[in-house]
Structure 1
């Protein structure tokens, strides 16, 4: 257990920050899954639209340093390749 007031406060903050980061990570995974699902469905126009929304979400979460910027870039690249690789 934390012994000082500062350490107790940091422990409280860590709990709430962890919850916040967990929700952001969940939102990131949901965005990725939505693009994958749209690609599997086969509608290229819909997949492109979902990808645009997911791209914004991925960038926002990377800016908050929940995931590394290179991880975000790699994810966006793979999703983009999946959308572009679809047959019309």
Structure 2
């Protein structure tokens, strides 16, 4: 491995980095996220929940497609109930 005149690594597949550690470090994993977390995140980022679900799909703890289908059915029932009055 070497650096080019523009300080890029050669060959291009080379990898290097700085690694820092501390004896008191705590490591954690991010678990599956739920719908309420997606809605909160979408609101804070100015995105729709559907956009957030698209980008975070591997981390969702629910079926986003099923959730959208159920929400649509619930909305239709609500509209139907309102039209009865």
Name the TM-score, length of structure 2 as normaliser.
Answer: 0.33
Name the TM-score, length of structure 1 as normaliser.
Answer: 0.32
Q: Looking at secondary structure, tell me which structure has more strand per residue.
A: 2
Structure with larger RCO (C-alpha < 8 A, sep 6+): 1
In terms of Rg, which structure is larger?
A: 2
